[in-house]
Amino acid sequence: EAGVAQSPRYKIIEKRQSVAFWCNPISGHATLYWYQQILGQGPKLLIQFQNNGVVDDSQLPKDRFSAERLKGVDSTLKIQPAKLEDSAVYLCASGGPSGGSYNEQFFGPGTRLTVL
């Protein structure tokens, strides 16, 4: 079974520039999560999708971050404009065929973003 795919793996941009990350979850997984992991901290949920609907985006800085999962499969996370404090690893995870609170979350390799 293929795992969660993410691209790019690394990205370096200047502050105020835009950047986009892509995630393809495990086939059949209804739930998709985007996490931000700042160096030395645990992952923090930015947004959770169930199929193509948003379940939780309470921690997403909506003035600069946006995410979509239009067809309920792959997803894109965008930052516009980027700030220095956005430097982090952005992890995508997917879970369960039907969602639910007991589903194991499988993480992708992450995208390491550096904002200069």
Partner 1 sequence: GENVEQHPSTLSVQEGDSAVIKCTYSDSASNYFPWYKQELGKRPQLIIDIRSNVGEKKDQRIAVTLNKTAKHFSLHITETQPEDSAVYFCAGNYNQGGKLIFGQGTELSVKP
Which of 88, 99, 116 lies closest to 55 in space, CA to CA? 99
Query: How far apart, in whole angstroms, are the C-alpha atoms of residue 21 and residue 66?
Result: 11
State the residues that interact with partner 1 by CB under 8 A: 31, 33, 40-45, 48, 50, 55-56, 91, 95-96, 99-110
Nearest distance from residue 62's CB to partner 1, in Å?
17
CB count, 10 Å around CB of 104?
8
Nearest distance from residue 38's CB to partner 1, in Å?
11
Nearest distance from residue 93's CB to partner 1, in Å?
8
